[in-house]
């Protein structure tokens, strides 16, 4: 009976969290749509600050991750392709794999670890210090004031970071292909763009948009539901990052199946 009760408790708790997360997402989208008509949309300064934090200040770490990922892919694929005398296809391997998969996923994981954790810690600290209740006392909706700017910043800046990540990753593979394997630079560029289609790029951007929604909503939700003082903030931050990682991989699998096992 205890085992059954434990399983039931986990299921009901998970179900409640899922419903609450979708409720938060619904409220966020509603404020984005009706906020300007009610003249209660967040100030541009608040949104721009979050865009700088989520995008520009994340560029350095995204740069290094994407650059070295491109180098590693080029080295690993060259090792196998060289056996078949097809080393030039390293260019296609790097560009397509980064645009389809590694660019959006690795960028999202980096942003989730940096920005998602910061969002949860910031809002969680406000929650345990009763600043959220103070906002409600002043008739300021926490979703409009705290969630909407972070949501908009991530869904805009994460696709931008993904585009930069794709370019940087291809440059990393280019350096290995040209200066290490002796490939012709013009032929390398030609193979990179001939094998990479617009569908590869658009799929990565759609994935990054979805990942931006996941990171922002999960980070804000865990912050708004934080309990237990400073220790609770730490637990909420850890849970936020782990949950974001799992959902990013899960939705990456789902979106990959939708795009590559159907005619969409």
For 47-106, the pLDDT digits (tens) are 888 899 988 899 999 999 999 999 998 888 877 777 777 777 888 888 888 988 899 999
For 97-106, the pLDDT digits (tens) are 898 889 999 9
For 95-132, the pLDDT digits (tens) are 888 988 899 999 999 999 999 999 999 999 988 888 88
What is the C-alpha separation between 147 and 79, in angstroms, rounded?
Answer: 47
Residues 151, 28 contacting (CB under 8 angstroms): yes
């Amino acid at each position: 009976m205890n085992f059954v009760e434990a399983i039931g408790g986990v299921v009901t708790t998970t179900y409640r969290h899922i419903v609450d997360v979708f409720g938060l997402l619904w409220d966020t989208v509603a404020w984005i749509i009706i906020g300007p008509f009610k003249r209660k949309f967040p100030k541009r300064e608040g949104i721009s600050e979050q865009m700088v934090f989520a995008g520009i200040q994340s560029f350095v770490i995204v740069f290094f991750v994407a650059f070295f990922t491109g180098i590693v892919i080029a080295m690993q694929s060259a090792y196998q392709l060289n056996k078949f005398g097809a080393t030039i296809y390293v260019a296609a391997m790097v560009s397509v794999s980064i645009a389809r998969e590694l660019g959006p996923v690795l960028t999202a994981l980096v942003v989730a670890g940096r920005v998602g954790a910061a969002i949860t810690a910031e809002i969680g600290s406000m929650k345990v210090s009763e600043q959220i209740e103070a906002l409600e006392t002043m008739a300021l909706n926490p979703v409009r004031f705290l969630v909407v700017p972070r949501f908009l910043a991530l869904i805009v800046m994460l696709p931008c970071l993904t585009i930069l990540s794709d370019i940087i990753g291809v440059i990393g593979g280019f350096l290995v292909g040209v200066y290490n394997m002796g490939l012709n630079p013009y032929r390398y560029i030609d193979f990179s763009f001939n094998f990479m289609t617009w569908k590869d790029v658009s799929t990565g951007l759609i994935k990054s948009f979805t990942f931006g929604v996941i990171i922002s909503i999960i980070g804000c939700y865990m912050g708004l539901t934080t309990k237990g003082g400073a220790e609770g903030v730490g637990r909420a931050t850890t849970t936020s990052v782990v949950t974001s990682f799992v959902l990013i991989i899960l939705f990456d699998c789902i979106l990959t199946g939708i795009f590559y096992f159907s005619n969409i």
